[in-house]
Amino acid sequence: MKEVKSITSRPLIVIPSRSRAGQLKVLTSIPDELMDVTYVAISSDQEDEYKKAHPDVQLLIVPDDVTCIAQKRQACIDMLPKGKIIMLDDKIELY
């Protein structure tokens, strides 16, 4: 995994996801100028699937022992630089 940049002027946007590669409607709602601070958090066993479906999206690979959404959210917080984080559900649409 590439190192996540610490950007203090803007919060990081994290989208925890599981088994929804190619179905992330929320990504169409995020402006292009925020994609550099947007990450989809997935497990390593789904990395190839998500890379294929979303080649321009940054992936945050959580540890393999993470098994539920609460653990995935905590892993994201622990893995990212300290600062503001916005977590979005992977199946929402923003208007």
Interval 45-78: pLDDT, tens = 999 999 999 999 999 999 989 989 999 999 999 9
Residue 5's CB is within 10 A of a number of other CB atoms, namely: 10
Rounded mean pLDDT of the chain? 90
89 pLDDT band (50/70/90 cuts)? very high
pLDDT tier for residue 5 given thresholds of 50, 70 and 90: low
Q: What is the average pLDDT across 4-30?
A: 86
